[in-house]
Each structure stands twice: as structure tokens, then as C-alpha cells.
Structure 1
Amino acid sequence: MSKAQTSKSAQHPRSQGSQPTANRNVPHRVRPFEVTQKLPRLQRLAFGKALAPSRERYDQLVDALWQGDPPMDCLLDWMMAEDSRNRKAMYELALKEGINKVENAPTELKTFFAMVDQEPVWLDRELLEQGVSVVQSLGEFGLYIMRDQALMVGYLLSGFNHALVATGALNKGASQRTGETLKWWMDCTEHGGMERFGEGFINTLHVRWVHGMVRRHLQSRKEWDSNEWGIPANQTDMIATYLAFGSVLLLGVRLGGVIITPRESRAVMHLWKYAGWLMGVEEQWLVDSELEGFRLLRHTQATQSRPDWTSKELGQALSKEPFERVYPWKNKFPRLHKLYLKYEYHSHLSLTRLFLSREQMNALGLPDWVLPWYPAMTTPMRVARELYTRLGPVDRKKLERKGRKQQRYRMQAVFGERAHGIIKPDKNHPAHL
């Protein structure tokens, strides 16, 4: 199959779902099935053979590289057919104020919002809000794990990177990109944020629209090779993304000395299960447990190519992001501020080193001489704090408020003097309208 033929067929992922892998082009990014069965001894002992994908699961995830988000893709077919700016404005009005606010709303718009406005039968609002409480109580360490484990380690999976690079991520700057992601994360983890008109709900559907536009338009660009990567913003990559906010976060904070109870684990996973559903991840890929999520995340790695130049470019850019932060006291103590940013740069590298080998650090363009001194220094203090707060007469709500204050402070520093907001595609972005 030629590149042109592949790109043409990939533009309509809704029609691809039932085709078996054997009868379809397999993107070059996919690792051979036999390779995915070779697990490190420690992983095999800790998680069992199920950590390696079955042949059926492997084929499903390879197929999902050609599958998009049917509801959003259908909506975009209508939106882009004619008068796209006006139709986009109708979408924004329905999103922010409700479909009833759209005069003579078209069927396509009604159909989409009938789906997202109807809560899934499995949604437990009380459990979701508990998940929000857990995430807020993690404070700045939760942000460190998301940045230094989930995001940085994710750059090793180069099959995922190319859509990000094609959107101009390298030109935009790591600070802006990190800030936009952080703002969305904060909105989703605000109490009431995932209610119908909460900022988390609204911004998740905005990100879903951006993903749909990227999927629709990026394939027509010469830099996109469908033979190599499948379609942009595909189901497999969306699965890996939503699981990073749940299973990866929980694993990371546990390794850092934080106690997570089974109920708290389920609550955090439930929060991101709903976020994944709103993002367009299909029901079959939504999981309830931390272990189930970690196994599925490991299975998605079967479709990911080895680190390449994008891994190094993105990794180096993110590593230097702390130097762009601006804290409120910068002008009062400029030298101290500069020294503190150096400390943050090295502490982030140190935490990343806890999760990566020397070879992997090299693949990301990071110094391999770094030692995990930061987690070694701070983990005992977190363990002591956790034991005290769990066993002592500590107000958990007070701990949650303190943690949230830390998270807001860090987000403010990442944005600096820029306005706090999520992605707004510019003229060079595939989602620009």
C-alpha cells in the first residue's frame, strides 16, 4: 500500500475498526509480537504473565492505531463542510452554555451533545470527587511525578511523539506546553470541575476537539507518514495518555513514599476513567483498577517505536523548562531566584533518574551521571509525614487545601507572566480554524 493510499484510508478511521490487522497495513512503529512477550524478570514476578499482551490484545491495539474518535470525527465532518467558523461558534455555545442555548441546533450538534451530556451509567460522582481530594492532597509532589515520570518517560515512546512535534510543540516552548497541560490537569482535579459546566469538563471537550482537528488535517501534511505512525491522535495513543494520569501517577507517588489506600486508588482511577471517556476513549479501554490500568499501559507499548530524535528534542526541552519559571519573589531576590531555578532543574532530573536507566537518560538527551538524590532525600520525610497524617489527629481537608495551594503556586510559576489557559491553536497548528 502506498503512502498516499494509506493516508487517504486513514482519514476515515470510523470505517477501519472491523478490519483485522493481517489485512491492513501495520505501521512501522509497531514492535513484533514476539518482542512484546519478553518481560524483565522483576516485572514478570511483580505483575505476572498478564503484563505481556495476548495475541488478541496485541492485534486490537495495532488496529486501534487506525481508529479515531467517531463521535467527534462525525461532528467535524459537519462542522468543516461549510461555514466552519459559525458552526464552531455553535459548538462553543453548546459546550459552555448547553445545547438548548443554540437556536435551531442542527441534528449533528444535538447528537454529539446528547451523548456527552448523558452521564455514563457507571459514573459515581462521590467516588470521582474523592479522587479529586486524593490528587489535591498530593501537593507539589504529584506535579513532580506527572512531569518527571509520566511526561518525561513518555517521550521515550517515539511513535507518540511525532503528532506532538507536528503541532509545533518544539517551536512553542516547553514552558508554554507544560503550562497548558498543567492548566487542563488542574481544571480536571478541581472539586466540581468535572460537572457538566465545570472547567474540567469544558476544557476536556476542547482538547478533544483539538485532537479531532489534528487527526483530520495533519494527515494531509507532507511530514506525516501514516505508514510509519498510523493516524494522529489514535485510540491507542489516547489510551496511553489517560492512563498516565491515573496508573502512572499512583505508581510514582507510591515509590516516593506516599500511602494510597485501595479506596483512594479506585477513586483516582475513576476520575481519569471519566476524563478518558469525555476525551473520546472507547468504553472497552476504560479500566477501574490501578493494576489493570498499568497492564493496559504496558500493552500499548507494543505499538510504540524506540526512542528517536523526537525523544531527545522533547526530553531536552522539558528538562530546561524550570529555567523559564517565574516566582513572585523574582524581582526582590533575583540572584536567589536564579539559584533556585538551578536547584529545581537538578531536582527534576534526579527524580527522572529514579525511573530511568543511563541508556534511557541518554536517549532523552539528559545527562546520565545524575543520581536520584532528590527522591533519596525527600522520600523518608514523606513516609514520616504519611504515617503521622494517617495515624495522628490530622484534618485531611486541611492537608488537601495545603496541597492544592502548592499546586497553584507551581502552576503560576510555570506560566510566569503569561495568561493561564489551555491550548489555542495558532495558524501553524493543524487544529487552527
Structure 2
Amino acid sequence: MTASIDISGARPHRAESFSQSQQTPFSLKLFQPLLGRRLAPNQREYRALISGLMTGDTVMDEFVEWMFNTNPKNGKQKFDQALHHGLHTVKDCPESLSKLFHHLEQTPAWVDAGLIDDAITFIHGTGTYANYVLRDGALMGGYLLSGFNQALVLTGALNKGAPKRVGETYKWWIDCTEAQGMSRFGPGFKSTVHVRFIHALVRRNLTRGDKWDPDEWGAPLCQVDMAATNLAFCVVFLTGLRAFGIFATAHESKAVMHLWRYVGWLMGVDDQWLVDSERAGAVLLYHTTKTQSPPDWTSKEMGQALSLEPLSRHFKHFESVQRLYAYHKHLSINRFFLNREKMGQLGLPTKTLPWFPLITAPTNVLRYTAQRAIPILRPRLQRRGRQAQLNMLALFGEHGQGTIQPDKHHPAHV
């Protein structure tokens, strides 16, 4: 018999109590046989969630702390040198930087380069549907969980603008899904470690300010939030693609989960939050929702800002018409993934119809079934799909270039 675990300790107010976390909606209980377990977290899992809400990224946080305690500009230069040219090229390397990059460059034994390549090949073949799922399902839906939004709001993300946020994040995703992008000096590896560094800057700034309430929110950019974000790029991605008529095989599902397990590891997500199967990922993603607050004003502000982003895109021809079409297309996809109540909570038009997914899903079923039956079609599908993804990146103009940077007016800027 398993010993009872003490769950009476303090928890951030954003998280449900253990008893509340056991209340699983009936509609979700129907999926429990497929998952092979109860959806609700057990006592050990619940305690881990509460601990994860209070934990940041120890290794990167230690380096950033050293950097600010010595010479921030010089420390950032050493970090960039190690990232882009290797640790061995850094003169007078501090212990904290050495520890960080020895960790990063010691690839975990479980990493399978072949699986990562297969994941990237599959992702290329999904074309712009990958973007629709991640933007209109995962990102927009994530704004309903207001606990995620607090760090964005307090770092001025609302003023920064949705086009810049989305463009930078999309560029990072492109880097991670580039062929050989996750090799040591590949664009995905370097972009991910750079984003991890930015996260540590933001975390340090917020914890030293007077606006962040740890009793309410836990640690900024905590382990649980980082894990949930990582799961959006694999579990939500795979589920959303099926809604569009694109069904990953068991091997492709395993490969996509493996890719983002490694990306999450590079991003500073602890091993306990990294899973290698879609089933385990779905359970963990559900558990993370138990640590989130319900929609609030930040959900509406962020949702409305994201919905208007297509109206600032750059098109070569008939720009005003294409902007309007993109705006309504993305709203229709939002509506496909979200019910009217959630659309309202996000400040989106509630009478929108999910016309785009309903029109395209049947065609996708035929197209992707055909390419599996006729392997000679696959390379063409992958080339065209990747080109479509790159073309979408170009729509963000300068916001789709480079990597995520702290706002120059932000205290975390170095």
C-alpha cells in the first residue's frame, strides 16, 4: 500500500487544491481507458506540480546571477561566444558558464538523431497546417489559462505587440524544425539556448520587482509552465493536426514527441517533465491545467491582440484583401478549437463559424492518405510544405528575422 504523502503545504493561489484536482469532467473521463490510467494527478504527482510552480531553471539562473554580480555586458559577450563558437573559445571562462555549457553539450544518452530527423521530415510535410494548429489552437487557447499570461503582461508584452511576439516565436520554431537544426551549432540549438537565457533574465527581473506575487503565481516562467508550453508543440500539435485531417502514424507521433523532449531539455525543463509518448504527454498536459487560473482580463487583451495580428502582415499583392482574408481564416480556426464561451472570454467574435477547417479537412484526408500509399509523393509534399512554412515566416517581415530579444526599454536588457 502506498504511503500517504503530505499535501497540506503552502501552494500558489493559482493552483487548485488536491481535492479540486481530483474532479475530472465526465467528457474527459471517457478517454481514461485509452490513456491506461486516471487523468487526475495522484498525491505524488500533485506535490511535484506544486514544487514545479516554485522552481525556475537553476543552471541558467546561476549564470545570469553571476553575470549581474560582475559585469553584465562582459558576461553576455562570454555567453554569446560560448553559444556560437564553443566553450573552448571563451577566455577566463567563469565556473557558472562552464557548468551551463558542459551540461548543454553533453547530449543525453536517450537522444536519437534518427527520430529527430523523422520528426522534422513529418513536420515539413504538414505545411501551414502546423502553423494553424500552433497559433490558433495552442497559443490562442493558452491565453485562457491566465497564470501563463502574468509574466508576459508584467514584462510589457502587451505593449510589445502581437506581431513581434508571434514572429519571433515562429522564427524560433522554424529554427528548431530545420534539417540538422538541433545539432550543436544548428539554428534550433542556438535559438533555444538563447531563449532560455532570455527567460532567465525575465525571471531575475520579475523576482526582484514589487509587482510579482509569488504567493499568487509561484515562480515566473516556472518548470510547470515551461513543461506545458513544450507540450503544446507536440501533444496539442499532433491532436490539432488530426482535426485538420492529418493523422500521424505511431512512429511519427513518437518522433515528434522525441524532438520536443530534446528541445524541452535544452530549454531547461527538468527531466521529470519530459515525456516520450503522446499518451504520457496528454496526461501531463492535463495535470498542468490544474495549476492554472481561469480566464481574466489578460486573456481578453492577449486574445484580441493575437486575433488582430494578421491585419499587420506583409503581402506582395492585394495586401488589404489578403489581410482581411487571413484575419477571418484564423478566427474560423479559433472557433474550430474553441467553443463560443471561450471565444468570448478571449474577446473574439462569438458568432464566427469554423468554415476553414471544415472545408480543408476532407481534402487533407485524401491528400495525406495518398502520400502514404504512394511514397514517391512524399518528398514533393515535404518540399512544398516547408516552403509554405517559410513563406508564412516572411509575412512577419522584420519580426520574423533573428531571435527573441528583450525589449531595449526593459530592465532585463543587457
Identify the TM-score tier after normalising by the shorter chain.
Answer: over 0.9
Distance 2:365 2:31 in 1: 22
Distance 1:299 1:430 in 2: 33
Give the gaps of 5 or more residues in structure 1: 1-18, 331-335
Deviation at 1:31, TM superposition (A): 1.7
Deviation string for 1:368-403 (max 9, x for gaps)? 111211111110111111121111353322211110
1:412/1:148 CA distance change after superposition, 3 Å: same
**What is the aligned partner in structure 2 of residue 37 from structure 1?**
22
Determine whether 1:429 maps to 2:410.
yes
User: 1:309-320 counterparts in 2 under 5 A?
Assistant: 309-320=297-308
**What is the aligned partner in structure 2 of residue 350 from structure 1?**
332
Distance 1:419 1:53 in 2: 39
User: 1:356-395 counterparts in 2 under 5 A?
Assistant: 356-395=338-377
**What is the aligned partner in structure 2 of residue 86 from structure 1?**
74
Equivalent AA in structure 2 for residue 421 of structure 1: G
Distance 2:6 2:29 in 1: 29
Distance 2:69 2:374 in 1: 62
Equivalent AA in structure 1 for residue 140 of structure 2: M
For 1:116, which of 87, 101, 104 is the aligned residue? 104
1:246/1:430 CA distance change after superposition, 3 Å: farther
User: 1:190-339 counterparts in 2 under 5 A?
Assistant: 190-327=178-315, 329-330=316-317, 336-339=318-321
Q: Secondary structure at the match of 2:31?
A: helix
- The 4+ residue runs of structure 1 with deviation greater than 6 A are none
Deviation at 1:20, TM superposition (A): 7.0
Distance 1:430 1:63 in 2: 28
Equivalent AA in structure 2 for residue 381 of structure 1: T
Partners of 2:168 and 2:399 within 8 A in 1: no
**What is the aligned partner in structure 1 of residue 32 from structure 2?**
47
Distance 1:221 1:99 in 2: 32
Partners of 2:393 and 2:400 within 8 A in 1: no
Partners of 1:165 and 1:310 within 8 A in 2: yes
Determine whether 1:399 maps to 2:381.
yes
Q: Percent identity?
A: 48
1:89/1:393 CA distance change after superposition, 3 Å: closer
Equivalent AA in structure 1 for residue 167 of structure 2: G
Equivalent AA in structure 2 for residue 54 of structure 1: N
Equivalent AA in structure 2 for residue 284 of structure 1: Q
Distance 1:349 1:41 in 2: 28
Give the gaps of 5 or more residues in structure 2: none
Equivalent AA in structure 2 for residue 345 of structure 1: Y
Distance 1:85 1:152 in 2: 36
Distance 1:58 1:154 in 2: 21
Distance 2:94 2:15 in 1: 40
For 2:173, which of 182, 185, 195 is the aligned residue? 185
**What is the aligned partner in structure 2 of residue 13 from structure 1?**
none
Aligned-residue CA RMSD (Å):
1.6
Distance 2:324 2:226 in 1: 34
Distance 1:47 1:182 in 2: 33
